[in-house]
Amino acid sequence: MPSSVGELENLLGYRFKDISLLERAVTHRSWAYENARATNGKDQRPDQNETLEFVGDSVLGLAVAEQLYTRNPERSEGDLTLMKHRLVSSDTLAEISRALGLGDFVRLGRGEEKSGGRERRTVLANALEAVIGAVFFDGGYISARALVNKLFAESLREVTPSTSVDYKTLLQETLQAQKRKAPVYNLVRTEGPSHDRRFWVEAIWDTGSATGTGVSIKSAEMEAASAAIELLNSKDSEQS
């Protein structure tokens, strides 16, 4: 069973004046459909989170753009756009949702639950946007911006134009174009204390490997993929 919205309020660090907004934000359409009730011959479904998600997406985009501009006033529009796209991507949203434990609070229908919906990227990303939208309607933009700044603090510190390029996808597409299997990523080693840790990851494919390092496993994988692409491109140049 999902955890209580009161627990979620504590994790968010925000107390709702209208708790029904938060309840709606964590209600997936599958749960709303299963809990519809017939009233005067018509199905009355509980509110679900898709419209809050729509608003939350826009609020998130504005808050992230504001932070990026404030933190990187010297960056070009292209660099800021690249970083923004990375921060508001479904991958980043799902990652932050998992760290928050948001999946434990989402109300899902039985079918969605059985099919692994509580860990599904789209479910987690959409729920986070809906929560941001709920905070916006309950407390205004300042409250929603404060929540975004809190939840995205680490991502905002780490993001750069180079880390915003999805090298893992580019590597996979490059190998697929050459009729090769997708790469495998292995954690080679970890060094440093918990507050200042570095990770080394190796990207391996059928004809080679490359290593990357970073302050997180994710960033180390990106570096390894970037190095792999450079290696593949250099081999292609030698053969041409």
Residue 57 falls in the annotated catalytic set:
yes
The CA distance from 225 to 219, in Å, is 10
Q: Name the active-site residue from 129, 202, 221, 223.
A: 129
Phi and psi at residue 153, in whole multiples of 5°?
-55, -50
The CA distance from 232 to 132, in Å, is 42
Q: Name the active-site residue from 34, 50, 57, 91.
A: 57
Beta strands in the chain (DSSP E): 37-39, 42-44, 184-191, 198-205, 208-214
Q: In sequence order, which residues have a C-beta less than 8 Å from that of residue 39 and are 6 or more positions away? A: none
Strand-pairing partners, residue 43, are 38
Catalytic residues: 57, 129
